[in-house]
Amino acid sequence: MEILIGIAVAVCMFGGLALFQRASVASKKGAVLAAHVTSVAAANDGGRVMLRGRAHPLDEGPTEAPLCGRRVVWWRTRVEVRAPRSRLQYPTNASELPQWRRFHEDTAGSDLQLEDEGGELARVTMAGAQVHLPEVVWPIDSPEAAAFLRARGIANDAFELGGERPEIRVFEQCIEVEMELYVLGTVTREGGPAAKDAYRASPLARVILRPGRDADASPVLVATEDIRVLVAEERFGDAEIADEKPSPSDPAAA
């Protein structure tokens, strides 16, 4: 009887946690859908706001994307692998087919400046930001992808699985200089001494978009489309809104 009671309590606790998580995601989604595009000047300290503007690098200047070679504000690359299909001779449904697994990810570029329509700038914290950007898939046999993999110590023969090589694909996302973006984040207005960094609204104030700081913090969302539309159409997933980052999987388990 005690065992049954213990199981029942565990099930109730698990169910309650799941309900709490769903309610949290729903609350965050509702907050996104209710957001209005505002200006840097009108962004209230501590408020979660959406800004629209053009991306600019900070004082460090643009950085070179490793695959396309262009000078950009920010970039991210991802390598995924999938076990050979021949390992499954008679799959009965799609769920049994080999799945793509994230194997390696790189991100470079510092925070960026967002210039609104009025010409004012805010600094956007990119560390931990969830992005929805155009994504380019590079052919694995292209010179750019081959050089990229070699530079990171990744090669086809590093993925031997029972004598067979899995499929590999390489992705790249970039934020180019003056690319138009929508950004949703929590506003921080900080004072400080006069400085030359252009994201200060005045010599003694600067506007920064950061993740929320509460226990149920919301991440910074960055996209080339209206974030409200992406969320409404579920193209920005619940896990991204709630900042639930999946851990990379071992390609050998694919």
Mean pLDDT (the chain) is 74
Query: Residue 195 corresponds to which tokens in the numbers above?
Result: 């400085």
- Give the per-residue pLDDT at 161: 47
Query: pTM of the entire structure?
Result: 0.72
The bridge status of strand 48-57 relative to strand 37-38 is parallel
pLDDT category at 222 given cuts 50, 70, 90 is very high
pLDDT tens by residue, 95-134: 566 788 888 999 987 789 999 988 989 999 998 899 999 9
The whole-angstrom separation of Cα 159 and Cα 168 is 9
pLDDT tops 70 at residue 139: yes
- Give the per-residue pLDDT at 159: 52
The stretch 196-208 carries a mean pLDDT of 61
Asked if 82 and 88 count as a contact pair (C-beta separation under 8 A), the reply is: no
- Give the per-residue pLDDT at 86: 53
Dihedral Cα 49, 53, 55, 59, nearest 10 deg: -80
Using alpha carbons, select from 222, 212, 220, 218 the residue that is nearest to residue 182.
222
pLDDT tens by residue, 77-101: 999 988 766 554 555 555 566 788 8
- Give the per-residue pLDDT at 250: 36
- Give the per-residue pLDDT at 249: 36
Q: Write the CA distances from 173 to 38, 41, 49, integer angstroms.
A: 26, 30, 24
Most confident of 32-46, 198-212, 220-234: 220-234
